[in-house]
């Protein structure tokens, strides 16, 4: 049996443990930020390189011939750019799997030990669990792609049917299908995350991790959904704040102010984007830590039951000593002084019979 029957932690406690683990291990959020920024820059690099090549070709001749030559250069670089983009995405995905193979065990250990794990174990854990995490992540990503394709095809066919023969029943069926598809997509995505957590944090094999993740999702569906919904709400709040900050920056730039004198110059806007990216990474690490806490609690590794109170000391009654009867002190009577007879010499002793 997988479930040990131990008291289960609530969703709010799991969220607290995840936030505490992400805060107590800030280097994980920092590394996740660098991975996100590096992956984005790496993905944009092939497109930027193709655009630079097209610009150099277009500027060698006049405008009209240059445009045609730029389009021809882009067509010639289509497959090369697509291959470079695919390689960049694959490299980013592999680095992400390597990161979670080392970060998830640390987050689970933090939730289990209620303290920061010993330093120097990240690369050791990443090396040991990389193969399991890559296999689980590959299968989870493949299932998600199939679900997305099926959802898109069914939704497109239903929308086409509603356009060709619009009826109330078909629109109602389309709305029901959209709602059910979103719910299934959300649950499959959550199952994939639990699958990754089981493989990385608890050392399960690919198939065993899938079975235990599905079992955990079935038993603790409410807690898992609450964790995902709350962190989605946190992400939405951060996204709104980030959008507002960038909008203010763009508004400051549009009024014609000097960028060197405004508070939101281009470097400042880049810094704001990086800062909010770090917040997003911290929330992602905390969400994975919360799911790792739920998975560890499913195996009975987390015990948050309060310790039993110590038994009270025995009630020892203090018996007061009985009062001592005060006896009167009687002074000793004076001893009569006896006459001291000095000893006479032996020759001077009188014999009482002779009268001497």
Question: What interhelical angle do 266-298 and 26-58 show, nearest 10?
Answer: 130
Model confidence over 251-298: pLDDT tens digits? 655 545 454 555 456 676 777 788 888 999 999 999 999 999 999 888
Collapsed DSSP state (helix, strand, coil) of residue 203? coil
Q: Is residue 264 part of a domain?
A: yes
Q: Is residue 245 part of a domain?
A: yes
φ/ψ bin of 334: left (φ > 0), alpha (ψ from -120 to 50), beta (otherwise)? beta
Model confidence over 74-87: pLDDT tens digits? 788 888 888 888 89
**Tokens describing residue 142:** 């493949």
Q: Is residue 93 part of a domain?
A: yes
Collapsed DSSP state (helix, strand, coil) of residue 339? coil
Model confidence over 326-351: pLDDT tens digits? 555 555 556 555 544 454 454 544 45
Q: Is residue 246 part of a domain?
A: yes
Range 87-113 average pLDDT? 91
Q: Is residue 317 part of a domain?
A: no
Domain range enclosing 281: 11-298
Q: Is residue 85 part of a domain?
A: yes
Residue 97 has pLDDT above 60, yes or no: yes
Tally of domains within the chain: 1
Q: Is residue 347 part of a domain?
A: no
Q: Is residue 1 part of a domain?
A: no
């Amino acid at each position: 049996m997988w479930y040990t029957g131990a008291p289960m932690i609530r969703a709010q406690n799991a969220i607290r443990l995840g936030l505490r683990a992400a805060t107590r291990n800030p280097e994980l959020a920092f590394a996740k930020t660098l991975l996100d920024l590096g992956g984005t820059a790496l993905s944009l690099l092939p497109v930027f390189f193709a655009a630079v090549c097209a610009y150099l070709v277009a500027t060698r001749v006049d405008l009209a011939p240059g445009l045609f030559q730029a389009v021809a250069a882009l067509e010639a670089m289509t497959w090369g750019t697509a291959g470079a983009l695919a390689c960049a995405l694959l490299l980013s995905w592999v680095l992400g799997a390597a990161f979670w193979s080392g970060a998830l065990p640390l987050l689970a250990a933090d939730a289990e030990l209620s303290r920061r794990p010993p330093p120097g174990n990240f690369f050791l854990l990443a090396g040991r669990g990389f193969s399991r995490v890559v296999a689980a992540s590959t299968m989870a990503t493949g299932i998600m792609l199939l679900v997305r394709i099926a959802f898109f095809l069914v939704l497109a066919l239903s929308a086409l049917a509603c356009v060709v023969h619009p009826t109330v029943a078909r629109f109602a069926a389309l709305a029901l299908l959209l709602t059910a598809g979103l719910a299934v997509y959300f649950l499959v995505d959550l199952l994939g995350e639990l699958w990754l957590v089981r493989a990385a944090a608890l050392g399960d094999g690919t198939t065993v991790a899938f079975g235990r993740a599905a079992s955990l999702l079935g038993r603790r569906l409410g807690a898992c959904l609450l964790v995902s919904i709350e962190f989605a709400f946190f992400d939405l709040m951060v996204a709104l704040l980030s959008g507002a900050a960038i909008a203010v920056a763009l508004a400051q730039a549009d009024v014609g102010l000097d960028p060197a004198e405004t508070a939101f110059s281009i470097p400042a806007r880049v810094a704001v984007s990086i800062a909010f990216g770090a917040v997003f990474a911290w929330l992602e690490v905390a969400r994975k830590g919360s799911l790792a806490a739920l998975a560890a609690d499913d195996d009975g590794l987390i015990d948050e039951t309060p310790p039993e109170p110590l038994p009270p000391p025995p009630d020892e009654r203090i018996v007061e000593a009985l009062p001592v009867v005060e006896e009167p002190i009687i002074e000793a009577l004076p001893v009569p002084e006896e006459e001291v007879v000095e000893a006479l010499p032996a020759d001077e002793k009188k014999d009482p019979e002779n009268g001497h």
